[in-house]
Amino acid sequence: MGTNPPTKRSNTMTPINQSPLVMLRLTQVVQRTGLSRSTIYSKLDQNSTHYDSTFPKQVRLGRGSAVRFIEAEVNAWLEQCVYSSRAVSTTVPQSLMVQSALVAGRCGQ
């Protein structure tokens, strides 16, 4: 009746899904979103009036200055922008219209 020894935990991250992680350069994010570089940096800057907590965060690669954005997060943000811009109608409850308007403001509308 011995107990099993504890298993050693790995320090490597296990992917949530099996699809490959695609990283985008800033120039690619500019192309996909239609936003300028300065607007993207403003959306990332917590001290900016244009700060958007829902905008995808940069991923630093190594110790240098190289950063990338995760494609799936950029796509999800864009989809939310489309959804929020089309969700405002007379059939949407007032609370959702306010929330949608806030998100739409974050999406550059």
Q: Do the domain assignments include residue 93? A: yes
- Domains identified in the chain, total number: 1
Q: Do the domain assignments include residue 3? A: no
47-93 pLDDT, tens digit per residue, is 999 999 999 999 999 888 899 999 999 999 999 999 988 876 545 55
Q: Do the domain assignments include residue 33? A: yes
Q: Do the domain assignments include residue 12? A: no
User: Which pTM value belongs to this model?
Assistant: 0.65
Q: Counting Cβ atoms within 10 Å, is residue 41 exposed (0-12), middle (13-18) or buried (19+)?
A: middle
Q: Do the domain assignments include residue 9? A: no
What is the extent of the structural domain holding 76? 23-106
Q: How confident is the model at residue 19 (pLDDT cuts 50, 70, 90)?
A: confident
Q: Do the domain assignments include residue 1? A: no
Q: Do the domain assignments include residue 84? A: yes
